[in-house]
Every structure is written in C-alpha cells, then in structure tokens.
C-alpha cells in the first residue's frame, strides 16, 4: 500500500487514482470504503487502512452501502487510458517520463499494477510485447518480422529479453505453448484468466491471497511461461462472463483444462455437474465421487479449484445450509448464488460489467 500520509491525503481529496490501491476502515461506524467514497470524510484518527476488501472484512468491517467496494471494480481512468494505448500498439514503450508527462505518478502506476496484475507496469508492457511477438512468430514462422515488430532496438536485445521471459531462444519458444493471462472486469472486481491453446486453465479474483501460488502452480503444471496476452478461448470467456453476470447465460461453453489428481478431477467434474441455481453439500459431493468419508478431502479439492465460477465451487455449501468457505470471499459467494437464484435485489449486475 502507499505510505499512510499519502493514503490520508488520497481519501481526504477523494483521489480516484487510488481506487483499488487501498481501502479505509472507519472505526466509529464499522464500515470500509473506497478512497473516493462520497460519504462524510472521517477523522484520520478514526481510520485504518487495508490492502484488500478481504482484509477489511477479516478485521470485522462491513462494506459501505454508498461506494459499494465489493460490487463494482472502479478502475481509475488513467489505467483504462494506458491499456487502450497498449491495445493500439502493443510494441509501444511508455517510460516513467512519459507517465509524468501525462500527469500520472509512476509510483502510483507501479503499485496499482503490482496489486491488480501481479507485476510492475514496465514488466507488464515488456511481457505483453514479447507474448505478441511469440504469437506473431507462431502465425507467420518469421523471426525477422516478429523481431522488427517487437519494439526492441537491436536483435540481440530482443533475443536476450525473450530468453529471460520464455527460458528458450525465439525459435524454440515458438514451438511451445505458453499460458496467456488476461484481466477481465466484473461486478465483483477484476478477475485474472489464463488460457493455453487447449482452453482456459485459470480464473481467479485478483485479490485472492492464493493467486500468486495458483499462477506458479499453473506455470509448473504446464511447464510453460506465464505472460500477458489473449487468445480465442480468453475472448470467448470474457463474452460468456458478461452474459453470465447479466443473467442471460447459464452454461459455459468455453473449453477448460484442469489437470490434477484422479480424486481432484472427480470432485471438479461433480462441481461442473451441479445445475445452475442449485447447491450441493460437501457430503453430497463425497457420495457422488464414491467415498462418503472423504468430506474434508472434497473441501480441500474444492478450495484448490483454479477456475472459479465456470467450475462452480461457489455452489457447494454446508449441509446445515450455511454458505461455508469460499476463496473469493463469502460476500462474493452470496452474490453469485443470489444471481443464479434470480434474486435481483443486488442490482442489474450486467450493467456494471465493463
């Protein structure tokens, strides 16, 4: 998080550039807010800061009903502008000097991208350039064309950067798959999605504490580098998620890839078999996989699911009817179950999707 005095200034001035970088808990009311919350600003002595909504909830705070920190991902305008600039020209280089010229603090950019993308902005743009280059090589078979489009001033610089990212020379790497990461905005906050040539292999909320471990696990499972990028599977996933949150899609068609132990795969297949709008208990899943005593093992496999929502681990609850645990946070689980029940009290989720 930014230094305390910087966070204090940000919320007192309702600085939108800090949305997503931290949340503030107000001791006198027991609620937590975004820095831009329109409610009356609390005294600094009554405020404590959190890096995520989950951390604020664990500390006993409730989400504010005015700024709704759990429901909509309020991405700063400068982030959208930077990503749009990269979309127009993935080979572009945006230096700290360029950021300052745009009126953007480079330190703020670094912190935001570390939090939401797991890497600094410069690392993000470099990896994205190289992933675009890799796909260009795979499509055309031309190293020279790809190197010229990469934005590197020399071929030696391009080769060295490529080897650091992919662990192989450009020629060898062009014959291998890689895990492409895309970030998708949803009413429940940003989600990171990973895809390979066969299908989707990762879908996690970006503030999940286990996210970094899940990305490392995916990298190890597929013996492939993880870099920003997109493919047809990731594009289809984004479209289907938008339809899901707008309550016009109940069954995902995007292909999935989820290697695991034989037991884990049986559990995940049973999760996929739970109908939209219904729930199952851990005991019911254990019976379905053929081992009624494996309730705890089912819970562990459920927690290790790497593809949230599409493999619907949120549909598993305690036999008492209580929600139980959820890696993305219980309020998200409650939201998803209410969405699938057709409960519109939470608002038209699809309208918030961007």
List residues with catalytic annotation.
33, 313
Structure tokens at 182: 């895309």
Q: What distance in Å separates the CA atoms of residue 269 and residue 43, rounded to the nearest whole number?
A: 51
Structure tokens at 166: 């992919």
Cβ atoms 326, 314 nearer than 8 A: yes
Phi, then psi, of 294 in degrees rounded to 5 = -95, 35
Residues 6+ apart with CB under 8 A from 296: none
Structure tokens at 240: 């289907």
DSSP 36: T
Sheet hosting strand 23-26, strand order edge to edge: 47-50, 23-26, 31-33, 62-63
Cβ atoms 339, 249 nearer than 8 A: no
Distance linking the first and last C-alpha atoms of the chain? 25
Structure tokens at 63: 């989400």
Q: How large is the angle between the packed helices 77-88 and 121-140, nearest 10 degrees?
A: 30
Cβ atoms 48, 22 nearer than 8 A: no
């Amino acid at each position: 998080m930014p230094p305390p005095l910087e966070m204090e200034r940000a919320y007192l001035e309702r600085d939108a550039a800090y949305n997503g970088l931290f949340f503030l808990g107000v001791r006198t009311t027991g609620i937590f807010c975004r820095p831009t919350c329109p409610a009356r600003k609390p005294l600094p002595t009554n405020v404590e800061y959190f890096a995520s909504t989950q951390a604020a909830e664990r500390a006993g705070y409730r989400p504010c009903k005015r700024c709704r920190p759990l429901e909509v991902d309020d991405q700063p305008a400068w982030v959208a502008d930077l990503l749009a600039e990269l979309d127009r020209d993935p080979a572009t280089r945006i230096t700290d000097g360029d950021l300052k010229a745009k009126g953007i603090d480079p330190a703020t950019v670094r912190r935001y991208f570390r939090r939401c993308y797991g890497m600094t902005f410069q690392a993000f743009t470099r990896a994205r350039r190289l992933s675009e280059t890799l796909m260009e090589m795979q499509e055309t078979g031309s190293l020279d064309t790809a190197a010229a489009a990469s934005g590197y001033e020399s071929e030696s610089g391009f080769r060295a950067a490529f080897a650091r990212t992919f662990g192989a020379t450009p020629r060898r790497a062009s014959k291998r798959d890689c895990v492409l990461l895309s970030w998708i905005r949803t009413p429940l906050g940003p989600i990171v999605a990973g895809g390979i040539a066969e299908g989707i292999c990762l879908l996690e909320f970006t503030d999940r504490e286990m996210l970094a471990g899940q990305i490392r696990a995916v990298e190890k499972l597929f013996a492939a580098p993880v870099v920003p990028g997109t493919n047809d599977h990731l594009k289809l996933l984004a479209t289907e998620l938008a339809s899901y949150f707008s309550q016009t899609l109940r069954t995902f068609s995007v292909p999935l890839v989820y290697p695991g132990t034989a037991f884990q795969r049986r559990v995940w297949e049973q999760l996929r078999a739970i109908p939209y709008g219904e729930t199952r208990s851990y005991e019911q899943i254990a019976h379905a996989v053929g081992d009624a005593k494996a309730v705890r093992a089912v819970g562990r496999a459920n927690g290790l699911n790497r593809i949230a929502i599409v493999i619907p681990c949120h549909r598993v609850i305690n036999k008492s009817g209580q929600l139980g645990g959820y890696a993305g946070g219980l309020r998200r689980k409650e939201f998803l179950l209410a969405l699938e029940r057709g409960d519109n009290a939470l608002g038209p989720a699809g309208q918030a999707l961007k």
